[in-house]
Structure 1
Amino acid sequence: MILDGSTVASITARLSEVDRQRAARFPGGRGGRQPVHTCYVPADKVGPHTPSDWGEQALAALAEHGFDLGHDLKERVKAKLRTEPVEDLRIDFEDGYGAPSTEDADAARAAGHLARWHAEGIAPFSSGLRIKSFDTPALLERGLRTLDIFLATLGDLPPGFVITFPKVTAAEQVSVFAELLDVLEERLGWPSGSLKFEIQVETTQSIVDVDGRLAIPRFIAAGGSRVTGLHFGTYDYTAACGLGAGQQRLDHHACDFARHVMQVSAAGTGVRLSDGSSNVLPVGDTSSVLRAWQVHYGLVRRSLEHGFFQGWDMHPAQLVTRYAAVYAYYRESLAGDAQRLAAYATRAEGGILDEPATAQALSASLLRAVDCGAATAEEVTQATGLQLDDLRGYHRRAVV
Structure 2
Amino acid sequence: MGQGQQEKVATSLAGAVSEEISASLAPVDAELERRYPGDPGTRQPVHTVYVPGDVFAADTIRSWGDRALAALDEHAPDAASFAAVLGLSDELAEPVHARVRAKLEREPIEDLRVDFEDGYGNRPDAEEDEAAARAARLIAEAYGDGTAAPCMGIRMKCMEAPVRARGIRTLDIFLTGLMEAGGLPGGLVLTLPKVTYAEQVTAMARLLDAFEKTHGLEPGRIGFEIQIETSQSILAADGTATVARMIQAAEGRATGLHYGTFDYSACLSVSAAHQASDHPAADHAKAVMQVAAAGTGVRVSDGSTNVLPIGSTEKVHAAWRLHYGLTRRALARAFYQGWDMHPGHIPTRYAAVFAFYREGFEQAAARLARYANRTGGDVMDEPATAKALSGYLLRGLDCGALDIGEVARLTGLTRADLESFAVPRRGDLTASA
Read off the aligned partner of 2:251 and give its amino acid letter. Answer: G
Write the letter of the residue equivalent to 2:130. A
Structure 1 residue corresponding to 2:118, chosen from 73, 95, 101: 95
SS at match of 2:153: strand
Are 1:269 and 2:296 matched, yes or no?
yes
The residue aligned with 2:15 is: 5
Match of 2:376?
349
Q: What are the Cα deviations for residues 176-203 of structure 1, in whole angstroms up to 9, with x where unaligned?
A: 1110111112223433222110000111
Q: Distance in 1 between matches of 2:410 and 2:235?
A: 44
Partner of residue 207, structure 1: 234
Offset at residue 40 of structure 1 (A): 0.5
Find the aligned partners of 1:175 and 1:247 in 2 and give their Cα distance. Answer: 34
In structure 2, the gaps of 5 or more residues are: 1-10, 84-92
* Match in the other structure for 1:143: 167
What letter matches 1:68 in structure 2? F
Question: Which residue pairs with 1:248 in the alignment?
Answer: 275
Q: Which has the larger radius of gyration?
A: 2
- Alpha-carbon distance, 1:275 to partner: 0.7
Structure 1 position 11, deviation (Å): 5.0
1:51-66 aligned at under 5 Å gives the runs 51-66=61-76
Partner of 2:49: 39
Q: Work out the CA distance in 2 between the residues paired with 1:4 and 1:355.
A: 32
Structure 2 match to 1:77: 100
Number of the residue aligned with 2:34: 24
TM-score (norm 1): 0.97
Specify the code of the residue in structure 1 equivalent to 2:398.
D
Deviations 1:263-321 (A, max 9, x none): 11111111111110111111111111111111100011011000010110111111100
One-letter amino acid matched to 2:321: Q
Structure 1: stretches of 5+ with no match in the other structure? none
Q: Specify the SS of the correspondent of 2:48.
A: strand
SS of corresponding position for 2:166: helix
Q: Secondary structure at the residue paired with 1:138?
A: coil
Which residue of the partner structure matches residue 133 of structure 2? 108
Q: How big is the shift at 1:385?
A: 0.9
Report the AA paired with residue 110 of structure 1. A
Asked if structure 2 preserves the Cα contact closer than 8 Å seen for 1:152 and 1:188, the reply is no
How far apart, CA to CA, are the structure 2 residues paired with 1:265 and 1:86? 28
For 1:295-306, what aligned pairs fall within 5 Å after superposition?
Answer: 295-306=322-333
Letter in 2 for 1:374: A
Of the structure 1 ranges 97-106 and 263-272, higher mean CA displacement relative to structure 2 is found in: 97-106
* Aligned residue among 395, 402, 410 for 1:383: 410
Q: Give 3-state SS (helix, strand or coil) of 2:252's partner.
A: helix
Specify which of 141, 154, 157 is matched with residue 129 of structure 1: 154
Worse overlay, 281-290 or 7-16: 7-16
Q: Which amino acid aligns with 1:143?
A: G
Give the Cα separation in 2 of the matches to 1:191 and 1:299: 40
Maintained 8 Å contact 1:169/1:206: yes
User: Identity, % of aligned pairs?
Assistant: 51
Shift of residue 230, structure 1, vs aligned partner: 0.6
The CA RMSD measured in Å over matched residues stands at: 1.4
Over 3 Å counting, the alpha-carbon distance change for 1:146 and 1:11 in structure 2 is closer
1:49/1:117 contact within 8 Å kept: no
